[in-house]
Structure 1
């Protein structure tokens, strides 16, 4: 019988028991934070996979682009496909190039400006895809600890009210209420810490991928600029 009596306090302090004993406000806080944590990990896994695929796509495109294949052949290959990364930037530039010459481009400077704008827009769209949902990680990382603290404050207030009503301040009475209140803070940190670490890591990765695409856009702009000058010289 003594062993059973000793086991009861531990049973009341288990995580599930603390959750079930908590008030409805604290329960809502805990459930919300757990949902945020699950969604945070879903975003992290999805972004890690997506960034890995993007790096592979960039490497493949660079190998093909610098292999010596003509720009026209490469454009015909990619024009009807769903392209991403450097491929999307290349297709946007070549599409503007072809449209301008089909309509009889008169100004080399205007053509170069339109091509650069087309590549900038394509780069912006690709960066939006890369950075999509990262804002949720930043929000979770900054807000989750405070949301958990809110649940803790509510739980402690409820616990003190119970202590005042029972007029008993023994540890066996105080401990469960304090523990269930602190559980909300623990869950808030559980959601916030991975979110902050992942946001910093994924933001850095996105910037590196963006710099690679921006570097390609600059190089391709220089290539097209030389070809525009050659065509202008031929017409003259």
Structure 2
């Protein structure tokens, strides 16, 4: 009876098939990378919304300052960050200047007071950015670890079966390389989003600080008469 050649079992090379047929260690690497990618996308959506909201507040504040004509006391600061920043500035302005305080020092004091709420608003956007940075830098190496582990298992299978045909080698190598692909899919959007958000936050902070400097200069030109000590400041505030 003639020998009948038996075809090797077919391998599923779809993404789901590569995951299900992978080594347990490679599966764990893939799951970790997928979870990291999902976390990064959730952070990206949340930061996009928050950055747009902060951009609107900063630009509203800058527009209110410009409408004041550089003379201080904007007529309509709205609410939120713009109103809070203006409130801080007016509180410092109403306290007046000390007798030994120059107009430049008075202006710097008002500007520093306004920078605090702007910096606080920018800092509220920073949580989550380290996760994007970590995923962008580490995910490719985690995927590479899964690839190396999978290729090692493939070589062990080749040695055990004494068969070096492409049909035997290809499925194991494909499963291993799939881990690297997932690592890159997780890392590339994370790096792009991290750079975009950090630059966007820095630019909004600069824009807010520029508007605060303009408002402080206007208020300093309209400075109340110098007052002396705590009693004088309270009287000026009243």
Query: Is TM-score (shorter-chain normalized) higher than 0.5?
Result: yes
Higher deviation after alignment, 198-207 or 55-64: 55-64
Distance in 2 separating the partners of 1:199 and 1:91:
33
Q: Gaps spanning 5+ residues in structure 2: where?
A: 1-6, 233-238
Greater share of helix residues, 1 or 2? 1
Distance in 1 separating the partners of 2:111 and 2:212:
8
Q: Highest Rg: 1 or 2?
A: 2
Distance in 1 separating the partners of 2:28 and 2:99:
65
Distance in 2 separating the partners of 1:182 and 1:63:
53
Tell me what 2:42 maps to.
42
Tell me what 2:30 maps to.
30
Tell me what 2:61 maps to.
61
Deviation at 1:66, TM superposition (A): 4.0
Pairing 1:201–2:203 present: no
Distance in 2 separating the partners of 1:226 and 1:107:
17
**Selected match of 1:132 from 127, 134, 140:** 127
Tell me what 1:108 maps to.
101
**Selected match of 1:232 from 226, 229, 233:** 226
**Selected match of 2:174 from 174, 179, 183:** 179
Distance in 1 separating the partners of 2:56 and 2:152:
54
What CA deviation, in whole Å up to 9, does each residue of 1:25-68 have, x standing for no partner?
21111111111111212222222222222222233333444444
Mark the CA change 1:224 to 1:146 in structure 2 (over 3 Å): closer, same or farther: same
RMSD (CA atoms): 3.0
Q: Gaps spanning 5+ residues in structure 1: where?
A: none
Post-superposition, which runs of at least 4 consecutive aligned residues in structure 1 deviate over 6 A? Answer: none
Tell me what 2:86 maps to.
90
Mark the CA change 1:94 to 1:28 in structure 2 (over 3 Å): closer, same or farther: farther
Paired residues, number: 218
Deviation at 1:74, TM superposition (A): 5.5
Mark the CA change 1:160 to 1:91 in structure 2 (over 3 Å): closer, same or farther: farther
Tell me what 2:236 maps to.
none
Tell me what 2:165 maps to.
170
Mark the CA change 1:187 to 1:133 in structure 2 (over 3 Å): closer, same or farther: same
Mark the CA change 1:74 to 1:19 in structure 2 (over 3 Å): closer, same or farther: same
Deviation at 1:112, TM superposition (A): 4.8
Mark the CA change 1:15 to 1:191 in structure 2 (over 3 Å): closer, same or farther: same
**Selected match of 1:188 from 183, 187, 200:** 183
